[in-house]
Structure 1
Amino acid sequence: MKPTLLITAMLLATGLATTANAQTLKKIADSNKMTVSYREASVPFSYLIGSSKSVGFSVELTEAIIDDVRKKVKKPNLEVAYMPVTSQNRIPLLVNGTYDLECGSTTNNSIRAKDVTFAINHFYTGTRLLAKKSSGVKNYADLAKKTVVSTTGTTNSQVIRKYNTDKKLDMQIILGKDHDDSLLLVENDRAVAFAMDDILLFGLMANSKNPASLEVVGDALQVEPYACMLRKDDPEFKKLVDGTITRLIKTGEFTRLYTKWFMSPIPPKGVNLNLPMAAELKANLKDLSDKPAL
């Protein structure tokens, strides 16, 4: 075979393999198994209570999608495996096929869209700061020459680094391996503030050892959407996931779930985050957009 023909054949084979690997519904049907992820500390989206049970708003979205997958592949006894992921490994493990669906607290942005596909946006948030009330931190200017933590693999760590450079604040930025680890660094005074999506900060604060000692402060640096994450080049599975979220929105079930997790007492401590829907989310209940952040 001529070199050019050989290269063409290899490229075609690679493309076919990629396409085959991306067909999530066929993979699930053939194996009679679906693997979904959960987060261990993304309150109130996906988090653990006890040692192994994950709960939250995104967990319930996941369960609704699983039900629709069962119907689509006609396997009522479909085996479902639940896998913990972190901010750092959630994308590579999805891309390589280790699991099939991530509904957690993942920002839908253009950079990530090079590697994965996102469903309809289901939440909007922005980077703010969690600090001890006794720290004197009220906004970003108060962080000059101080230690600030964010979580590895998050867009927030990038946002706070850029802000630090642009404003010449000379902050020392350290990274926690997960949100609980980042919170602990503030509680133990190894960092004066934790930069993260405001909703996650409210959730972490509510379930912390001493909520009264903490507060969420600072302006929101940007508004970003959350969305469920799927492998690329799999329009059939995206259509199913988008269809589930659309159905939940149109039947009012989405609003009921929002009220349950953001406007009512939640486990384990029965704290009410009391966070009404953002204007961006209300608009997207009509628009049903999967538009990414910049």
Structure 2
Amino acid sequence: MMRRLARASAALAALLLSFGAARGADGPTLARVRDTGVIVIGYRPASLPFSYLDAQLRPTGYTVELCERIVAAVRSRLQLPDLEVRRVEVASATRMPLVINGTLDLECGITTNTAERARSQAFSLTIFVAETRLMTRGGERVQGLADLRGLAVASTIGTTSIQHLAKVNGQQGLGIRILGGLDDPEGFQLLRSGRASAFLMDDVLLRALLAQQGPGADDYRISDQALTVEPYAIGLRKGDPQFKALVDEVLAGLYRSGEIHAIYRRWFESPLPSQGLNLKLPMSAAFRRVIANPTDSPDPERYR
């Protein structure tokens, strides 16, 4: 009797030990998802074509699709066929705090990986490479911020674009009056209404805004000169290498198989679901290099 009890106790101890080891191997994010049966993703409601709401008010877009592939991998890894996906709307100013405080497991919008931001949160492999440019009304020939000395320039609050604008404005003493929009459409409206002489934002997002203007797009011009390079990535909680490894392996698998090209064409070179807009934006040479040699580097020089 005592021997049977001892064997049962040993078996239970081994089971608990293996369970603890499995949880440790999962890391904190996967362990929490396993315990709760819920994974939380952040989305943007109007950041075409990366993250926006479709006609049924469901999040969709390029980054959202990549995150759905990651969720499928989590579901398989944890053997949770009924895994609940909880979607939380975020804005430029709230996306990173919600990753840092643990609310979000995946930030599936548009976020540039920078060395400064990487001190507070982690990032996936690069999923897109943008460049910051100026949009002005069509009759104005503007290439750089120096051409806007003493004028009002709009950008979006909480972005690297508005940070760059403030930095250059201060360093060069341009006397630019900086106007901040809560999101990109609001920033564009500051230009459209005449309150701002230019709108500084990532080129792909400027193209998406113009595509929504119809014939009115001809009234605006995007500068040829790029001011900064912006490597986009999916935002992750810092200090969880196991979850980052899973995320990166999903993305690297899409890159190795070439499936990323079909995904890219769906969102950048085809009519967008629920929108009918086609950005007609070929894949950049910089992103092709990322696909060939995946990286999570925040260094802009890595992408030039």
- Aligned with 1:175 (options 165, 177, 180): 180
Q: Is the 8 A contact 2:154 2:198 kept in 1?
A: yes
Q: Which residue of 1 aligns with 2:240?
A: 234
1:38 counterpart = 2:26: no
Name the % identity. Answer: 41
Residues 24-35 of structure 1 aligned to structure 2 (within 5 Å): 24-35=29-40
Task: Give the Å deviation of 1:140.
Answer: 3.0
1:75 counterpart = 2:69: no
Q: Is the 8 A contact 2:143 2:225 kept in 1?
A: no
Q: Which residue of 2 aligns with 1:56?
A: 61
Distance in 1 (CA, whole Å) between partners of 2:224 and 2:181 is 20
Q: Which residue of 1 aligns with 2:219?
A: 213
Matched AA of 2:192: E
Distance in 1 (CA, whole Å) between partners of 2:109 and 2:119 is 19
Q: Is the 8 A contact 1:47 1:54 kept in 2?
A: yes
Q: Which residue of 1 aligns with 2:267?
A: 261
Give the number of equivalent residue pairs: 275
Distance in 2 (CA, whole Å) between partners of 1:51 and 1:170 is 45
Larger deviation, residues 46-55 vs 248-257: 46-55
Q: Which residue of 1 aligns with 2:21?
A: none
Residues 84-99 of structure 1 aligned to structure 2 (within 5 Å): 84-99=89-104
Matched AA of 2:106: L
Matched AA of 1:226: Y
Q: Is the 8 A contact 2:105 2:236 kept in 1?
A: yes
Q: Which residue of 1 aligns with 2:153?
A: 148
Q: Is the 8 A contact 1:185 1:191 kept in 2?
A: yes
Query: Are residues 61 and 205 of structure 1, via their aligned partners in 2, closer, same or farther at CA, if it must alter by over 3 Å?
Result: same
TM-score (ref. length: structure 2)? 0.85
Larger deviation, residues 203-212 vs 284-293: 203-212
1:113 counterpart = 2:118: yes
- Aligned with 1:224 (options 213, 216, 230): 230
Task: Give the Å deviation of 1:136.
Answer: 5.0
Distance in 1 (CA, whole Å) between partners of 2:38 and 2:292 is 33
What is the RMSD computed on CA atoms of the aligned residues? 1.9
Matched AA of 1:221: L
Distance in 1 (CA, whole Å) between partners of 2:245 and 2:85 is 20
Task: Give the Å deviation of 1:127.
Answer: 1.0
SS of the residue 1:266 aligns to: coil
Task: Give the Å deviation of 1:104.
Answer: 1.6
Task: Give the Å deviation of 1:53.
Answer: 2.0
Query: Are residues 269 and 91 of structure 1, via their aligned partners in 2, closer, same or farther at CA, if it must alter by over 3 Å?
Result: closer
Q: Which residue of 2 aligns with 1:5?
A: none
Greater C-alpha Rg = 2
Q: Deviations over 1:119-143 (max 9, x none)?
A: 1101111110122214554543331
TM-score (ref. length: structure 1)? 0.88
Query: Are residues 138 and 292 of structure 1, via their aligned partners in 2, closer, same or farther at CA, if it must alter by over 3 Å?
Result: closer
Q: Which runs of 5+ in 1 are unaligned?
A: 1-18
Q: Is the 8 A contact 2:99 2:106 kept in 1?
A: yes
Larger deviation, residues 237-246 vs 182-191: 182-191
Matched AA of 1:170: G
Q: Which residue of 1 aligns with 2:7?
A: none
Matched AA of 2:253: R
Distance in 1 (CA, whole Å) between partners of 2:120 and 2:55 is 33
Task: Give the Å deviation of 1:103.
Answer: 2.2
1:284 counterpart = 2:290: yes
Larger deviation, residues 264-273 vs 156-165: 264-273
Task: Give the Å deviation of 1:109.
Answer: 0.7
SS of the residue 2:112 aligns to: coil
Task: Give the Å deviation of 1:166.
Answer: 3.2
1:187 counterpart = 2:197: no
Q: Deviations over 1:222-248 (max 9, x none)?
A: 212111110011011001100110111
Distance in 1 (CA, whole Å) between partners of 2:140 and 2:95 is 33
